[in-house]
Chain A
Amino acid sequence: MRSISKYLLLVSLLAFLGSCKEEKYLFELPEGSQTGVTFENTITENDSLNILDYLYFYNGGGLAMGDVNNDGLPDLYFSGNQVKNKLYLNKGNLKFEDITTSGGVEGNSSWNTGAVMADVNGDGLLDIYLVAVAGINGFEGHNELFINNGDNTFTERSEEFGLDISAYGTTASFFDYDLDGDLDCYVLNHAVHTEESFGRVQLRYTRNEMTGDRLMRNDGNVFTDVSEEAGIYGGINAYGLGLAVSDFNKDGFPDIYVGNDFHEDDYFYLNNGDGTFTESLRKYFGHTSRFSMGNDVADINHDGLPDLISLDMAPEDEKVLKSSEGDDTYQTLEMRTQQYGYHYQYTRNMLFLNQGDNPYTELALLSGISATDWSWSALFGDYNQDGEEDLFISNGIPKRPNDLDFIRFVSSDEIKKSINETRLVDQKALEMMPSGSVSNYVFEGNESIGFSNKTGVWIPERPSVSGATAICDLDGDGDLDIVTNNINEPASIYVNSTNDQANYLKLRFAMDAKNSFGIGTKVEAWNDGMLRYKELNPFRGWQASSEPMIHFGLGNATSVDSLKVIWPNGTYQVLSEVKTNQTLTISPENVQPYRYQKPMIDSLFRKVEGNLGINYTHKEDRHSDFDYQKLIPYSVSDRGPALAVGDLNNDGKNDVFIGGGRNQKAGLFLQNEFGYVRTNHPKIDNDSVFEDIDAVIFKPHFTDKNQLTVVSGGNRISPSLRVLSNRTYNLTDPTREVIFESGDPNNSSVERFIIENNETYSFEGSYTKPLDFGEIPLSTYSTRSGRLVDDKIGMVTDATWDDFDGDGNKDLIVVGEWMPPTFFRNNNGQLIEENLLDSPLNGLWQSIIPFDIDKDGDMDYLLGNWGMNSKFEASQEAPMMMYYDDFDENGTTETIVATEKNGAYYPLMGLNELSAQMNFLRKKFTTYESFAGKNITEIFGEEALDKATKFEVHTLASGFLRNNGDSFTFVQFPEMLQTAPITAFEKFDFDGDGSESVLAGGNYFGVIPFHGRYDSFPGAIIDSDTEFQLANKLGLDLSLRSVRHLKVIHLNNQPYLLVINNNDDAVVYEIKR
């Protein structure tokens, strides 16, 4: 077999080599001299107009595409900032003719931005709407509406239509928001006021005519500003750069996503269907991009729900990354969110997977598209026609104004007094910013949520500054071509040469209505049981509009089984057996009313009002580990609260104990026949100073009365260290309420405490030493017949006593961070550590539960890890490294985390962060340029790294250990279970089918803004090694909260699920089986 596949590989390689003599890309880029498209958006800086005077000086022009003369070929309209706008007629064979002057579309404003084409007056001809910036910097003019006269000439009629807006425009989108049959318009404007201070979020409620976005209702070829009554914000702080319109919630009414630059939140306007919108960002998005730029919408995972990408400016290249200003500090983000009221925003691209009525799952890091440098336009499209959405991203900026050397060193030397005296920065200073001209990106999408970078394969890797981008079939060969509007360089035309290697279907719509092109029409294409869903919205791709058509790539399918066309007016029709490789123009015919339905939710779980009386809100204290240990990879003192379920008052009913945060009283809930009643217990209340991390209710071997033991954690040095001690309470004997309080002999933060079978088995797993992350604390374990063993197992997070060898007594498996799952075989009461793994398996393990996932009769173990949706990266070949030592020899240790990139290891943190802890680096690297691109050995030297204690992580994936009898093999969970750390498991027959399943929950927020916020895991039910289902499809959504415990409790024989979260409410769900 092996040799055959090798042979095949060789043959295909030869075939490949033979097929192209020279390097050939999927896209060819003909020169402007060949095509006639010579438009170049040339930017000329001068002393009174540059990036200092106008913050969006480098945002570039616009690009509108569409067939203005109805010859079947899309024409091109470019807008420029300081150059004249241009309209090129497509003459076929990729030849274009400039008809700007005769067409009358040159425009009259000083500075144009977005340009779009739409049939604004509903006469079946595409008109051009040109957006302007006016009213600052001496810019004059207004948005212009060039109505198509049908003879290759246009007449500017914006005033007559009420669209002659004179403001700080970015772009516009036309769509029928009120479903009255004509096209309304959303004009996206941007703020210009300095964002030197955050200001209150309430600024967004006060309309500013120049910066506020406008919703313009079409009242019969006259547009009326209905922004205020429709609930559209228009504040002075809205840096609107991204605009996406789609029926996100699939109720038939188009919704709007607005991406705002800087600290202002993005807006997610859900259309109420009555002419108004409700801004709903926080309900659906746990976090967003920070410097939000362009965005785009497509269903990338075939579930019929539109997904969203929002671009930012995170660079991929180490040199750029480490010499550019990056994310906020932890403290600044806390202030911006907690004090000023802004939402969580992070500096990278975000990919949001639509989850219906539940919060979106953000997984750009997992998908591999999170960092594409200074990015403007995202355009989904099936560029290779394999049936999957690919992604093209344009990017680049002439000068990088966030270059750290420029900010800290270069600028000051040059600028000095000129800024104070004249408010002008001379040209020389601006020229000292490094160039940000970089290659555009193209990614190939797969059937699910993954993308692989095809830059340099599909397109040449060639630096440019590309902004407005649009897609169309320029040469009529069926595949998608791409055009970009570039700064200081002619526009690029990417001619797709997929041609007949894969099949396509192009759809145009002709509606007998004002909305003649059918904007907002949805199509479900079904083939071989696979759904491809698209909605016609050409207003995409950064200050641009694409050809108003829908394009499906279909691989080698010669026909599509069925096409369901859902018209904006809520009717639909179905076409069957549609041949591929054709362009269809579809008009409403034999339509039937379409009923938008909420996706079927199998409500296995239903939230219980009142939580059965278990009303408890855990409060994490404001202590930030990052203030004390600036370089630890994640927080370590936020792993509470504790949870214990058991009978505390010997009435035969299980009670609930929820541990408190630091200085917070624990919650003691005693069960009666109606529910749970919170009960005060003075001794427990007195111990609120402890940060309770784990608790256990158990029957000691010497009595038949249950006791409660609570163990503590935290990351503070306290004089007595009492706050780390374990406490045992007896609630039934008032004379001995506190049985003992043992100072934690290991003086460490305990993460997991287990006592089973009348103390036959006990385990106390220690996590960290206070303020010394990297020092391994002692954990202890024992069986009743064996001796107590102290062991530096690792940074322990969880463990399970389970008989993995089937010899009738319980063995121990311990998991933790920077360590492998560790097995201790119970040999007549003595616990012997054994390596039963068939490969190195250090992880950032968070949780473990025994479960026969493959139903083969032996016990497998499910393991919760960090997940793969983070900036951490690890593999067997290139493990993630952590170096632990006192690198600056000042008596305090530090940790440095490094990951592999192109064969070398780089620290995750930059010079500012590292030198804040290790001052000597400031002397070693006096510029950011000298630091950027240096690997970890170059930075610290081989000797220092050799001397340091090294930790490794080989996988970040959650998964399970398959029991092979005498060894275990690790198997990853599917990717939708890798979106965040999995911190809790619970095993139960949730659906009542007689066999147990495991519920997994997770998420975690204790990381610096560089990492973001792991908030996207909705939970999942695991039935078997092939059956995984996200919990949000079952009535349970665990996203946006940091789950610490999942526990099934019973009240009057009815099972309920108790969810305990860090720094949040406890929640009870009824299990309806």
Chain B
Amino acid sequence: MLLFTKLKDNLLKILPFLAVFLLLNSCQEKVTSEPVEVTSKDLQNAVDHVTGIMIHDIFSPPQASRIYVYPNIAAYEIVAQNDPGYKSLSGQIADFTPIPQTSDSLVNYPMAALIAHMDISRTLVFSEEKMKTFSDSLENIWSGKNKPVFDASKAYAMKVVDHMNQWIAKDNYAQTRTMSKFTVDIDDPSRWQPTPPAYMDGIEPHWNKIRPLVLDSAAQFKPEPPPPYSMDKNSDFYKELQEVYDVSEEITEKGDESEEIEIAQFWDCNPYVSVTRGHLMFATKKITPGAHWMGITEIACKDSESDFNKTVYAYAKSSIAMFDAFISCWDEKYRSNLIRPETLINQHIDESWKPILQTPPFPEYSSGHSVVSGAASTVLTDIFGDNFSFMDDTELPFGLPVRGFDSFEAAAAEAAVSRLYGGIHYRAAIDKGLSQGQNVGRWVVENLDMKQ
């Protein structure tokens, strides 16, 4: 219940302040001028809150990566204005120009960074109210403590937000909303088609048209094609299909307590698992792969006792890598348009077989979790170092246990193979996906000059 405990913590913390604030307000105008410290914890809370809203609103994994990245970039840019240790991303990421500067000495940069972060988050999610309630309470505290500083910081933040929003508006997201749906062609046996139980349309078939941040193009790290589709039992493709089935049968035999099933479920990260019982339908929702890695970033920041600025930096860089990773991955998904193991196993091997995880609604190759994990782990290794061991409690709120890892790379490798255990990917999508993601991550590390 980490997320929610945190929220509760936060509220409990806020309440006395709120009361004081109200009290103060009810008196005559009385200017208070306590110093306000905005901490990395505040930022983490805000990101966790956005994650919660995304779960509610049901954003798909690529969409979620977009909702993470822009607020983080805004916060980072403000931090970089004031901390010579960090360099602006202007000129380094696509079409991004320097943000406005301020000469107002009252501006509290971390506060401005967080205000901008929360405001951009608000515009990117659907349930704005949920974000506004959160930011209003925080801002009321700040304003109560030190109104001049708050006002100056907010004014500056909003200038940056304006700048950011103009840039964000040109990322082709709005245009892709109206583009065509994925066309199912059941005459082509290799082509992806919707899967049970919801038979949802393929999501985001045009995500490769979203403007990448660091990549030259969506296809820059195009992985080699998957093994050619074949139902010949001796073909590489069929062997991989058979492997998915065999592994699934084997670990099902071992039971729910088996390590493989635990791994599959730990890394499920499916934001919308639909459940159907007769006419009764509902969904169990989880965080996305991107959110899981934001969680790991948060853990790394905490474990390394990173300050506000470094936390912002880590969030920004890892979310940029993941954003581009999703573009790279989705480009490949709707290039190869490969059919999911569930469809083929039901057709050719076992018509009643169901994967351990629910098959998500988009083509198989390459594995999204593998690509994103590859990219995120590469960036985090660059920031926090190799062999950074950590306990991953990101999935606690979803009833899943804590898992320990010796390095980000180890976590990524486990995330990747979890898709095979889950019965939703062939081996090639995992192996090639992981290196596709690592390529994206390395490219981000090599091309972004963020530290002085």
List chain A positions with a Cβ less than 8 A from chain B.
51-52, 55-56, 194-200, 291, 325, 329, 331-332, 334-335, 338-339, 401-402, 406-409, 411-413, 415-417, 419-421, 425, 429, 622-624, 626-628, 630, 888-892, 894, 917-919, 922-923, 926
Contact = CB atoms under 8 A, between A and B. Distances in A.
A411 B282 contact: yes
Nearest to A51: B280
B230 interface: no
Interface size class of B (residues with CB under 8 A): 35 or more
A411 to B, nearest CB: 3
B53 to A, nearest CB: 10
20 contacts: A51-B280, A196-B197, A331-B194, A331-B201, A332-B194, A332-B199, A335-B186, A401-B278, A402-B279, A407-B281, A407-B282, A408-B58, A409-B56, A415-B282, A415-B284, A419-B275, A420-B284, A888-B174, A917-B178, A918-B178
Nearest to A406: B282
Given A402-B281, A411-B283, A918-B177, 16 more contacts: A197-B196, A291-B279, A331-B181, A331-B184, A331-B201, A335-B194, A401-B278, A401-B280, A416-B284, A622-B183, A627-B181, A890-B178, A919-B174, A922-B57, A926-B126, A926-B127
Contacts of A196: 196-197, 276, 354
A656 to B, nearest CB: 29
A332 B56 CA distance: 25
B224 interface: no
Interface in B320-375: 346, 351, 354
B60 interface: no
A199 B399 CA distance: 32
Contacts of A195: 276, 278
Given A199-B351, A335-B193, A892 B178 contact: yes
Contacts of B283: 407-408, 411-412
Interface string B270-298: 00001111111111110000000000000
Contacts of B284: 412, 415-416, 419-420
Contacts of B274: 407
A1063 to B, nearest CB: 15
A194 B277 contact: yes
Given A335-B186, A624-B183, A56 B278 contact: yes
A627 B282 contact: no
A415 B281 CA distance: 12
A638 to B, nearest CB: 15
Given A420-B284, A627-B181, A926 B57 contact: yes
Contacts of A331: 181, 184, 194, 199, 201
A890 B182 CA distance: 20
Given A338-B186, A408-B283, A891-B175, A198 B181 contact: no
Per DSSP, chain B at the interface is loop
Interface in B37-63: 55-58
B162 interface: no
A670 B212 CA distance: 59
B281 A401 contact: yes
Contacts of B282: 406-407, 411-412, 415, 425, 429
Contacts of B354: 196-197
Interface in B185-216: 185-187, 193-194, 196-197, 199, 201
Contacts of B177: 888, 890, 917-919
A550 to B, nearest CB: 36
A56 B280 CA distance: 10
Q: Sort A-B residue pairs by CB-CB distance and give the 6 closest, nearest first.
A: A55-B278, A411-B282, A417-B399, A197-B196, A196-B197, A401-B280
B128 interface: yes
Contacts of A291: 279
A926 B130 CA distance: 11
Contacts of A332: 194, 199
B183 A200 contact: no
Interface of B: 55-58, 126-129, 174-175, 177-178, 180-187, 193-194, 196-197, 199, 201, 274-285, 346, 351, 354, 398-399
A673 B127 CA distance: 74
A922 B174 CA distance: 13
A55 B280 CA distance: 7
A894 B178 contact: yes
Contacts of A419: 275, 284
A55 B186 CA distance: 31
Contacts of A334: 184, 186
A630 B174 CA distance: 16
A419 B58 CA distance: 19
A890 B175 contact: yes
A926 B174 CA distance: 18
Contact of A627 (B56, B180, B193): B180
A828 B73 CA distance: 72
A888 B183 contact: no
Contacts of A411: 282-283
A922 B196 CA distance: 25
A197 B182 CA distance: 21
B197 A197 contact: yes
A60 to B, nearest CB: 14
B281 A325 contact: yes
Contacts of A624: 183
A51 B285 contact: no
Most buried by A among B55, B58, B175, B282: B282
A334 B187 CA distance: 12
A603 B196 CA distance: 49
Contacts of B398: 416-417
Nearest to B172: A890
B276 to A, nearest CB: 5
Contacts of A199: 351
A401 B280 CA distance: 4
Contact of A339 (B186, B281, B351): B186
Contacts of B351: 199-200
A194 B358 CA distance: 15
Nearest to A886: B178
A205 to B, nearest CB: 14
Nearest to A402: B279
A429 B277 CA distance: 14
Given A331-B184, A408-B58, A624-B183, A401 B279 contact: yes
Contacts of B55: 412
A196 B57 CA distance: 24
Given A888-B178, A926-B127, A412 B285 contact: yes
A419 B201 CA distance: 25
Nearest to A313: B279
A197 B346 contact: yes
A146 to B, nearest CB: 30
Nearest to A401: B280
A550 B138 CA distance: 75
A402 B346 CA distance: 27
A58 to B, nearest CB: 9
A413 B178 CA distance: 30
A628 B178 CA distance: 8
Contacts of B281: 325, 401-402, 407
A199 B197 CA distance: 11
B359 to A, nearest CB: 11
Contacts of B275: 419
Contacts of A407: 274, 281-283
Contacts of A200: 351
A401 B281 CA distance: 6
Contacts of A325: 281
Most buried by B among A197, A626, A890: A197
B196 A622 contact: no
Contacts of B126: 922-923, 926
B205 to A, nearest CB: 9
Contacts of A329: 201
Nearest to A771: B180
A331 B198 CA distance: 12
Contacts of A55: 277-280
A199 B351 CA distance: 7
